[in-house]
Structure formats: structure tokens, C-alpha cells
Amino acid sequence: MPSPRHAEISGAGFAGLTVATALAQKGWSVRVHERSAELRAEGAGIVLWGNSLQVLDRLGATPDLESRAMHSPAYETRMNNVIRSQEKLEGIRWISVTRPHLYATLLTAARESGVEIISGSEVTGATPEGRIDFADGTSAEADLVVGADGVGSAVRDSLGIPLKRERSRDGITRFLVPRHKAELQQLEPDTEWDNYIDFWNIEPRVLRVLYVPCNDEEVYIALMAPVSDAQGSKVPIDLALWTENFPHLTPVLEEAAKLHGRYYGYQTTRVDHWTEGRVAIIGDAAHAMCPALAQGAGCSIHNAWTLATEATKASNDQLPEVLREWERLERPITDRAQDRSQYYADTRQMAQGNQFAGDVVETALYNPTDPHRHEVNV
């Protein structure tokens, strides 16, 4: 039997583990390099939509993932604690989970598929011919190299791919804390505390809290404030400020105040191209986006799947051409998600509610596993 084709992947995040698992399940030998000494997820919670869930179904990861996930009854938007909308999102598949749980699920799927994962292995670059270079001075050859190494991608930068970064006026601090559902119900008995609730204050001060139940015990809360607001963006959080503006969330805000956290400014990264010879970049290395549509990870996961699918179809000689065609077909939907996310971040239009309709749900409804999807979406 001929030796399986080999892939080297930089980055053991959501995108890297997804493409690694998909390739391994399609017959490739796969090795993943993670710069950090520990394999773990950063962040708190995450919302996954149909585009990424379709991929997780195909990887066989959905049962484990949904064992500790939340299917919220509605996406609720409030302004100054007055309900603007409660969107049931009928016909749209979505769940919320903790990032550590999603990561553990993907890590298990990768290992069970035969992926080799090396922590403490720093990639410094790659060549279009399929060589990957490491910080210790060694290198390796591969049929396919994937840069899934984040916004500061060494793979992308070593290839000289031009990029442009756009920063927004707002940023966010994320926390994973106990739900305190009973205490919250005492403060607001009429509230459905299983809903995903987007709390906005625009006047007299811009502050926002995303309340995202992830399972029966944990809630992901994200505190948004302008970059220019030193008090609102302070970490650890200014508990008095946040409880004054959102008194009904006091139990979970008190938990958040115990944690250090980190304030992240919203950012969009647009790159000139995603492929160079036998190298492809995915995830934040290729298309970091504002979190307005909760599609940063979703696009990373669905692009990882389509990359593995198209690379597997190609012969070695055809691979560079097939990678370019993969980008031509798949990139437009991600570009549009970036644009919409940037628009919502710039305008704060999500505060108006009723936003999950029309073109906004294009990515959520996209099925990257459908072989006929481009017959109408070219």
C-alpha cells in the first residue's frame, strides 16, 4: 500500500484540530504543532451555529459536545433592561458551550482519529513547496502545510502575505462563572434565565453585557465597553460600575469581579490570499473578525472542513491549484461574515434587536458538508 499523504499543521486551536481530524479521517497522516506547553482553550464561552455543527456532526463529535451544551429558547435583546426582541431563531441550529468543553471534544476527536499532537513545538514559518520550519532549527516536509496559528500567524507572515487590520471602538472582557440561576430569578422572577440575553445601555454611557448560559452550572458573560473608557475596560472589573448599570446581574458580576480576565479590542484582519503553493491558512490567521455574529470560530471550523475535503480530492501535483480554487469558492461567505460583523461592531446596530434575519443568517445556515452547495452559491 502507498504511504498516506502527510500534513503538518501549526496551531492546535479549534481550526487546527478540526482540519487535523478531518484529514486523518480521510486517510492522511497528520502532525499538529502547538507552541504552548499545555493544550488548552483560551476564553470562556462560545456560540456555535449550523455551519460549524454540520462539521462536528461529520467528525463524530456532536454527542460529546451536546452532553454539556445549552439550547437557549430565544435570543433576547434589551435596551436599558427593556426587552427589544426575543428571537426564537426557528429553522436555525445553534447551541452555546464553554470553550474548554469544545476544545476537549475536538482534542478527543483528533486523538481518536490518529492525529499526532506535539505541545511546546513552535513553528517559525513555511515555504510554498511544503516545508515547515521550527524554532529549534529543524524542519519537516509535507504534502500540505496548514497555518492555523492565530492572528499573529508565523506561517502567514513567513510567506509575506499582505494583510490589513481594522480596529473598532469597542472591546470585550469574557468570563465563565457559576450561573446563580436561583438568585437571578429572585431578582427578576419573570425573566427566562435560560435565554441568551444581550443587555445594552447606550445612554448615558455605552456598556453591554452578553449573558450566555452554556450548561446547567455555567454562564458565559462578556462585558463590552469602548476602548476609550478606562473604567469600563478595567480588569479586574470595576464591580461598582457594572452593578450600578446592571443591578439585576449582580450575582454573576460579583463572580466575574473575582477573576482577572483580559480586555480585548475588537479587530478584523483581512489578508490578500489564503494559499501559497502547498500552504493554506485558516482561522484567525486568515480572517479574524469582530464577535458580533459569533462566527469567528464557526467560519474557522467550516473552512477547516472544506480545506480537508478539497485537499483530499486533489492529486499531489494538483494540490496548489486545488487550494486556490478552494479559496475562490469558500472565501466569499467568510468575507461577508467579516463585513457584517465589522458593520455591527462599528454601528452598534445589534442593540436594536431583531437582527437574525435575511442576509445576516447566511453563514449560520451554510452547510459546508453539502457537496452541491456551490451549485447556487458560486
Q: What is the pLDDT of residues 264-274, one digit of tens each?
A: 999 999 999 99
> Which pLDDT does position 314 carry in this prediction?
95
pLDDT at 359 over 50: yes
Nine cell digits for residue 239:
464591580
Looking at the chain, the whole-number percentage of residues with pLDDT higher than 70 is: 99
Query: Nearest to residue 98, comparing CAs of 34, 177, 21, 173?
Result: 177
> Which pLDDT does position 8 carry in this prediction?
98
The top-level CATH class assigned to 6-165+266-377 is alpha beta
β-pairing, 218-226 with 6-10? Answer: unpaired
Q: What is the pLDDT of residues 185-234, one digit of tens each?
A: 999 999 999 999 999 999 999 999 999 999 999 999 999 999 999 999 99
> Which pLDDT does position 74 carry in this prediction?
98
Model confidence at 2, pLDDT cuts 50, 70, 90, reads: low
Sheet of strand 163-178, all strands in order from the earlier edge strand to the far edge: 82-87, 75-79, 196-201, 207-213, 218-226, 163-178, 263-271
Query: Nearest to residue 175, comparing CAs of 125, 147, 132, 210?
Result: 210
CB atoms within 10 A of CB 120: 12
The pTM assigned to this predicted structure is 0.96
∠ Cα 106 107 109 (to 5°) = 65
What residue segments make up the domains of the chain, in order of their start? 6-165+266-377
pLDDT at 333 over 70: yes
**Mean pLDDT within 273-277:** 98
**Mean pLDDT within 261-265:** 92
Nine cell digits for residue 369:
458538508
DSSP assignment letter at 70: B
> Are the CB atoms for 148 and 10 separated by under 8 Å?
yes
Model confidence at 378, pLDDT cuts 50, 70, 90, reads: very low
Residue 123 — φ and ψ, nearest 5°?
-90, 135
Model confidence at 376, pLDDT cuts 50, 70, 90, reads: low
The rounded distance, in Å, linking the Cα atoms of 200 and 197 is 10
> Which pLDDT does position 41 carry in this prediction?
83
3-state DSSP assignment of residue 122: coil
Sequence-distant (6+) residues with CB within 8 A of 101 are 65, 68, 69, 214, 215
Length of the chain: 378
